[in-house]
Copies of this chain bind each other. A is one copy, B any other.
Amino acid sequence: MSEPATSLAEAREADAERRQGIVDVDVHPVPSSVDEIRERMPMPFRDRYQGERRSFFNNPVHGSRLDAVPPDGGPKGSDPEFMRRQLIDEYGVAYAILVSRTFCNIHPDPDYAAAIATAFNEWLVEVWLTEHNHDGAFKGSITIAQQDPARAVEEIERWAGHEHIVQVTMDSGARMPFGQRYYYPIYEACERHGLPLSVHPGTEGMGINHQPTPGYPTHYIEWHCAMSLAFQAHLISILTEGVFERYPGLRLVLVEGGVAWLAPLLWRLDSYWKALRSEVPWLRKPPSEYVADHVRLGTQPLERPDDDAQLLQLMEMMDAKRVLMFSSDYPHWDFDSPARAFPRLDDDVREAIFSTNARELYQLNQ
């Protein structure tokens, strides 16, 4: 799985630490330069690619932690060894699940989008999962461009057997809700390879994708806050369309969309299902039960009220011990510290959220 340790004793020690450490399910490696991606793209896309994002909405303060600049320079999040020091060593992280931010799903051209995804995947595997992964702490996500599901399946097939690839990822910015049949080849491939599908926000309203609001939002704070609404819309769609009846082995991971909305949304959806189930006869149980069996949520950005007791109550309502997995979003501006994001949790709840749930889902060292 990783390069051999220098002695059996060292290997056992490393293994014991990994069993106890945190799993962080949303960590962002960043290319040292656009060229790192561009050089892995075929023509004519190599000439075209500028790392473009095309959003009106950028963080007005700073997009990443100011202290995340690597000591030898380069973009924040671009130095694997510095990330190891600042995240993995600092907080006792056993595994960091790496998710590339490619912005590939904003483009009208599906070939260009797929070329971006492929180049990022090659870069991630070569640089982060091989060259700089001596301890096996970095686990990777296959980025797919949803514009061409058949091509996305090919990308999944290409990487699915890699020892450090643990999931597929795509952005939540979309032209249609994720429960629709357009996406089913992707879900089928994820199920077939036992790879969870992680959905990440950030391309809402960019390029070809719909806004998360009814029409254009005005400010970054509005756009960013509304990302969780797009997540809820996709989840409603996936649940009502019966995706988990069709693909019972599919596991869905929602990262960076917040978590506090989960219980209220499921109360609403369950109550509608009771009244309107004749419309969706393929559902054999209340929507909330599919969530418990098939959906996990990354905790960041955790909605933290003034009163810790209220957060703990809400966590009980959403069955947090079962559905949450800790994520930090390192190195981004709204990083959640493993040490401070949560109030004091019961040991079993903390262990589930910070370690066990992710280890089970991703079949990591358990």
Interface flags for A334-347 (1: CB within 8 Å of B; 0: not) read 10000000000000
Instruction: From B220, B268, B269, B303, give the contact of A279 (CB < 8 A).
Output: B220
Of the A-B pairs whose beta carbons lie under 8 Å apart in the complex, a sample of 11, sorted by A's number, is A176-B214, A177-B214, A210-B214, A221-B273, A221-B276, A222-B240, A261-B261, A271-B301, A271-B304, A310-B316, A313-B313
Q: Verify if A6 is at the interface (C-beta below 8 Å from B).
A: no
Q: Verify if A229 is at the interface (C-beta below 8 Å from B).
A: yes
Count of chain A residues near B, Cβ 8 A: 67
Binds B, one of A117-125, A128-136, A230-238: A230-238
Query: Which residues of B lie under 8 Å from residue A212 when comparing CB positions?
Result: 214, 233
In the docked arrangement, what's the CA distance between A214 and B232, Å?
A: 10
Query: Which residues of B lie under 8 Å from residue A236 when comparing CB positions?
Result: 213, 217, 222, 225-226
The closest CB in chain B to the CB of A213 belongs to: B233
By CB atoms of chain B within 10 A, which of A173, A175, A180, A305 has the most? A305
Q: Verify if A228 is at the interface (C-beta below 8 Å from B).
A: yes
In the docked arrangement, what's the CA distance between A211 and B210, Å?
A: 10
Q: Tell me how far the C-beta of A349 lies from the nearest C-beta in chain B, rounded to whole angstroms.
A: 17
Which residue numbers of A lie inside 8 Å of B, CB to CB?
59-61, 172-177, 179-180, 204, 209-222, 224-226, 228-230, 232-234, 236-237, 240-241, 258, 260-261, 263-265, 267-269, 271-273, 275-276, 278-280, 301, 303-305, 310, 313-314, 316-317, 333-334
